Every structure is written in C-alpha cells, then in structure tokens.
Structure 1
Amino acid sequence: MNIYLENKFLDISDVCTEGISDDARALMLYNSNSKSMGIAYVLWLFLDGLGGHRFYNGNTGSAVAQLLMTIFGWLLLMVAGVGMFLLISVGIWVLVDAFLITGWIRSHNNALVFQLGA
C-alpha cells in the first residue's frame, strides 16, 4: 500500500518494523503527519502578522505575502507613515484567519485519513 505524504510516496510496509499491523502503521503515520488545532492557534496568537500559522498549515505563498506586508508596513510607517494601510490590511487578514484555521486543520487531517485509507 503506497501513500503520498509530505511530497513523497511511502510504502506502509517500509515505515515500521515487522510485527506491527497495517492499522497500527496507518495510525502512527496519521499521528506523525496530522496537524494540531492548538499549535495553529498559538502560532496565530503570537506570530499573527508574521504568518506563522499559515506556514504551519502549508499556505507558504500567502504566509510569505503576509510576512512581507508586515515588514514593509512597519518600514513604511517609520519612513512616511503610509505603512498604516499595509498594517491595517494585515490586521484584518489575521482576524479573518482566526476563523479559517479550523477548516484548514480539519481538511488537512481529513485528507490524511483518506490517503491512509482509514
């Protein structure tokens, strides 16, 4: 049984040593690759404008955009005061993300269950 996880194919028989059932192997793969809602919200709380929660959820492109908008917002705020518009838009974006995190985590974990065939 082949599974596609983290950009590579894994054979479920290669993951663990002999003597462990396929169900136990699938459960171990799920536990090692599933995302945690708590970690996502802690990252959102402490690294909100830096996109930490988006990096964790695999939304790398938008996380980089959020990070750059925050950096340029602070730089332009210090220089010309126009960075306020960038910072306000990032703040709204981060507040919207608070409601989206649950769906991201749920869809990732459900896709993982589907891939493992559980």
Structure 2
Amino acid sequence: MSLTTQQQMLVEQRLANDAKSPVVAYLLLIFVGGLGAHRFYLGQIGTAIAMLIMFILGWLTLVIGVGLILLAAVGIWCLVDLFLIPGMIRTDRDALRERYSMQTIQTSPDVSAA
C-alpha cells in the first residue's frame, strides 16, 4: 500500500522536524569529538562508547606513552568522521522516513472498505 500525497507530505514534515542536524553533528565533532559526542547524537552508541573509552584510556596512559597511540587513533577516527557524518545522517533520515511511513499506513483508515 502506497502513501497518498497528503500522507507523504505529513511524513516529510515530521521528518523535517525530527531529523538530526548536520550542523549540530559537526559542532559536536569539532568541540567534543574525542568523547564521541557526535556519534551519541547520531545514534551510533556502540562506537561512541568505544571512542569515549579510547579517549579516556589515552589520557590516563599518556604518561607511559601508550596513551599517545590511543589518542592518535581517536584523532584519526574524528578526521574520518568528518566525511562519514553525511552518510550517518542520511541513514538516520531514511530509517525515520520508513518508520513514519509505516506508522502513517497503520493509523490511516482503510479507504477501500468504505
């Protein structure tokens, strides 16, 4: 069952209100990227926790030299995320669009039954 034009407009309006902002994601990456805040914001919880642990362990073991490797890895990870954020946002928008479409189909009255 496909959506009517009005239902599609409703889905896109909800999507515009609820979708993640690229500006917020980039600001989080720039200012607190080592802590994985941008990944928490974008719903990448597992990798965000991994990034946070690496960052903390990096600072704690910086004195013995091992921390430098961990902090360098987190820095490279942040650099790569500069290019991955648009894809993460697109994936999130697609998942939201699918969920809102399914909700709209389930809550709309059956027109063919009338």
Q: TM-score scaled by structure 1? A: 0.72
Segments of structure 1 that go 5 or more residues without pairing to the other structure are: 1-20
Runs of 4+ in structure 1 over 4 Å off: 21-25
Match of 1:29 in 2: 14
Larger proportion of helix:
2
Structure with the larger RCO, 1 or 2 (CA within 8 Å, 6+ apart): 2
2:80 corresponds to which residue? Answer: 96
Deviation by residue 1:94-114 (Cα, 9 ceiling, x = unmatched): 111110001000121123223
User: Which among 42, 46, 54 is matched to residue 69 of structure 1?
Assistant: 54
CA distance in 2, matches of 1:96, 1:64: 17
Paired position in structure 2 for 1:9: none
**Residue 54 of structure 1 is aligned with which of 21, 39, 47?**
39
Query: For 1:45, what is the secondary structure of its paired residue?
Result: helix
Structure 1 match to 2:93: 109
What is the aligned-residue identity percentage? 45
| Higher strand fraction (1 or 2) | 1
Report deviation, 1:24. Answer: 6.4
Structure 2 alignment gaps of length 5 or more:
1-5, 105-114
Larger Rg: 2
CA contact (8 A) 2:12 2:97 kept: no
RMSD (Å) for aligned C-alpha atoms:
2.0
